[in-house]
Amino acid sequence: MAIIEKLITLVRGTATEAGQAIVDRNAITILEQETRDSKAALEQSKVDLTKLMAERKLASDKLDSKKAKVDELSASIQKLVAKGDQQALALEVAGKVATLENEIKSDSATIAGMDANIDRLRASIRQAESTIEHLSRQIDTVKATASVQRAQEAIASRTSGSNAKLRTAMDSLDRIQEQQRLKDAQLDAAKELEASSGDGDLEKRLQAAGVVATDTAAADVLARFSKPAASA
């Protein structure tokens, strides 16, 4: 069981490393998608804020209407009380005013809560916009840096390949020159061998020893003509 557990742990660890490697290779793409998701959520927040503000306006309009109704009914109560014989009706109208005033208190509290929510949502939207704007600038910087690094890697790779090719070319040149020197040496050796194996070398040595006459020269010809003529 211990071995199986270790194998399972190994598989999980390998999967985690592989997954992290995939994430690292696609970090910019993931970051851009996360930014797009954040922008989409921000736009939805703006829509929600618009709805909340619209609801707040409707609630405020109803509140204003109730307040106006209270003012109207309060004026009626004053008139009824002034007459002195309309107490029952004045009491009925007063009950309506009391109900409206209670509703006004509740509606005012609701609107105050809506105002607080609107303020918080606006602050959150401003913060999100600032964060997304900063993140977008950083993404542009990261992408530009990645492009520069890819260019540098390509240049380094080409330079390395060029240096390797130059080294190979120099090695080839050295081999060619060495082969040419070897060929020259072989040609020289062949000439020496040819000279020593024929009569040419022996003839030269005999001439040097004065045994074999050398080739006729102009001085020899002139010497013949300079000798005294033999007696008849």
Per-residue pLDDT tens over the stretch 62-121? 999 999 999 999 998 888 888 877 788 889 999 999 999 999 999 999 999 999 999 999
Rounded to an integer, what distance in angstroms lies between the CA atom of residue 227 and that of residue 129?
128
Per-residue pLDDT tens over the stretch 143-200? 888 788 878 877 777 766 666 666 777 777 778 888 888 888 887 777 777 666 655 5
pLDDT at position 130 over 70: yes
Rounded to an integer, what distance in angstroms lies between the CA atom of residue 53 and that of residue 50?
5
Q: Which residues of 189-199 are buried (b: 16+ CB within 10 A; e: fewer)?
A: eeeeeeeeeee
3-state secondary structure at position 68: helix
Q: What are the structure tokens assigned to 232, written together?
A: 């008849």
Cβ(122)–Cβ(11) under 8 Å?
A: no
Which domains, and CATH codes, for the chain?
39-142 (1.10.287)
Cβ(133)–Cβ(35) under 8 Å?
A: no
The structure's pTM equals 0.53
